[in-house]
Amino acid sequence: MSDGGLSIRAQVLLWTAQRASAVVLAVCVIIHLVTIIYAVRNGLSAAEILGRTRGSYAWAGFYAIFVAAVAVHAPIGLRSVLSESFNWRGASLDIAVMVMALALALWGFRAVYSVFI
Amino acid sequence: MAASSTLAVSVWRGKESGRFQTFEVPRHESQTVLDVVTHIQRALDSTLSYRFSCRVGMCGSCAMNVNGRARWTCRTHVAEVAAGDRLEITPLANLPVIKDLVTDMTPFFDKWAKARGRFQGGRTRGHDFARVLPESRERRLADAAIECIGCGVCYSSCDVVTWNPDYLGPAALNRAWTLLNDVRDTDNRARLGAVAGDAGCHACHTHMNCTERCPMKLAPTASIAGLKRAAALAALKGELGDAVTK
Ligand code: SF4
Ligand code: SF4
Ligand code: FES
């Protein structure tokens, strides 16, 4: 399976990256959920939430890791789904998936940035 | 034992495109699905094509889909599977149909070759016997997966084969895993490259259809998981190449 697609080693490294990012995501999702439940149950307003996130390197760092894990994990999974469902393989698929990874990272980091400054 | 005395059997006739033909087959005690097919061919319609050999679960040639599930027909009793005295028998899925219940197993075995499923030793008759301790880890792992008889039941049951025709499939990967654990084999670097990636072990979704349906009670899913780990480790170390020798 090459026809303009990734090398076998690259394919396996993608798989490995997806497993590794899944581990990171599992932890991040739990922290994220606990945070949401805390914020909702304590009736925190948007201003109060922003008061905690602004200038906080800890929150910015945590969500930056979360975004990075999503940007790695989701596109690799989508790559399999697209190839299995629509028989889409090769370089064009890899480029499309790369664009999606960049878009996810861009949106995610922009959101992290905007609650930080 | 049988409540009613006949069985309505829908049998696939034709190739990829074809139709079902229904036969009335008398029921007997301890009747197998292969007995049913044989009755149809010998007594009702001699043009029906099917494949079998040993009739005792040794050769693996009698596999067909019975009521939607791939099975060895010689080891499947009608009483176990005939819901409401009906049987539907079709050729194995994921393989080209030659005629009626006979599939072309070529792609299945070609993938064994692609997975470098052939033992490659480094010794000659001049060497002493290789000593492989029965209790060694490798020997036990190979033992657990070695009894495959190449029936294609797992291959026919795997959705990933349906979705990705290049996927090597559970049996070929299971075979590669036994060789990876064969300490005498000298081809494992190339083999690991051959079985890794999008068309290899990393495509497996761990559905476990193969493991649930393997009549030999093997666990190709576990073998594939072992391959995934070994290949990922080799890829991280930079030892996994596309280059396939010979
Ligand atoms: S475990 Fe893997 S090989 Fe087995 S049926 Fe599922 S996807 Fe196919
Ligand atoms: S692994 Fe099991 S189901 Fe698959 S070919 Fe071998 S014996 Fe048949
Ligand atoms: S005829 Fe040999 S396994 Fe069924």
State the complex-level ipTM. Answer: 0.87
Mean pLDDT to the nearest integer, B52-77: 97
Give the residue from B55, B76, B58 showing the smallest Cα distance to B67. B76
Question: 3-class SS at A6?
Answer: coil
pLDDT band at A2 (very low <50, low <70, confident <90, very high): very low
pTM attached to this predicted model: 0.92
Report the distance separating Cα B34 and Cα B222, nearest Å.
30
Is any Cβ of chain B less than 8 angstroms from the Cβ of A46? no
Shortest alpha-carbon distance between residue A73 and chain B (Å) = 15
Structural domains in chain A? 8-116 (1.20.1300)
Q: Structure tokens of B67?
A: 């009521």
Mean pLDDT to the nearest integer, B193-222: 97
CB count, 10 Å around CB of B110? Answer: 12
Q: What type of residue is B227?
A: L
**In this prediction, what percent of chain B has a pLDDT beyond 90?**
93
**Are B242 and A15 within 8 A, CB to CB?**
no
Shortest alpha-carbon distance between residue A64 and chain B (Å) = 25
Of the candidates A5, A13, A19, the beta carbon closest to that of B235 is on A13
pLDDT(B152) > 90:
yes
Report the distance separating Cα B156 and Cα B100, nearest Å.
16
**pLDDT attached to residue B128:** 93
B231, burial (CB in 10 Å: exposed 0-12, middle 13-18, buried 19+): buried
What is the full DSSP assignment across B52-106?
A: -S-SSSSS-TTEEEETTEEEEGGG-BHHHH-BTTEEEEEPPTTS-EEETTEE--H
Q: How many CB pairs under 8 A join A and B?
A: 50
- Chain A, residues 55-84, CB within 8 A of chain B, namely 80, 83-84
Is B218 a pocket residue for ligand 2 (Cβ < 6 Å)? yes
Q: Structure tokens of B213?
A: 């349906």
Residues A76-95 pLDDT 10s: 999 999 999 999 999 999 99
Of the candidates A5, A12, A80, the beta carbon closest to that of B196 is on A12
Shortest alpha-carbon distance between residue A17 and chain B (Å) = 10
pLDDT(B5) > 80:
yes
Report the distance separating Cα B244 and Cα B241, nearest Å.
8
Mean pLDDT to the nearest integer, B69-98: 95
**In this prediction, what percent of chain B has a pLDDT beyond 70?**
96
**What atom of ligand 2 comes closest to residue B213's alpha carbon?**
3
Enumerate the H helices of chain A as residue ranges.
8-41, 46-53, 57-86, 91-116
**pLDDT attached to residue B241:** 73
**pLDDT attached to residue B242:** 58
| Cα Rg of chain B, angstroms | 21
Mean pLDDT to the nearest integer, B27-40: 97
Report the distance separating Cα B19 and Cα B13, nearest Å.
5
Structural domains in chain B? 5-103 (3.10.20.30), 106-243 (1.10.1060.10)
CA of B213 to the centre of ligand 2 (A): 8
Side-chain half-sphere of B140: how many Cα atoms within 13 Å? Answer: 3
**In this prediction, what percent of chain A has a pLDDT beyond 70?**
97
**pLDDT attached to residue A116:** 94
**Cα-based angle B158, B162, B164 (whole degrees, multiple of 5):** 110
Mean pLDDT to the nearest integer, B99-104: 98
pLDDT(A1) > 50:
no
- Chain B, residues 147-166, CB within 8 A of chain A, namely 160, 163-164, 166
Mean pLDDT to the nearest integer, B170-179: 98
Residues A39-58 pLDDT 10s: 999 889 999 999 999 999 99
pLDDT(B93) > 50:
yes
Report the distance separating Cα B246 and Cα B236, nearest Å.
25
pLDDT(A111) > 60:
yes
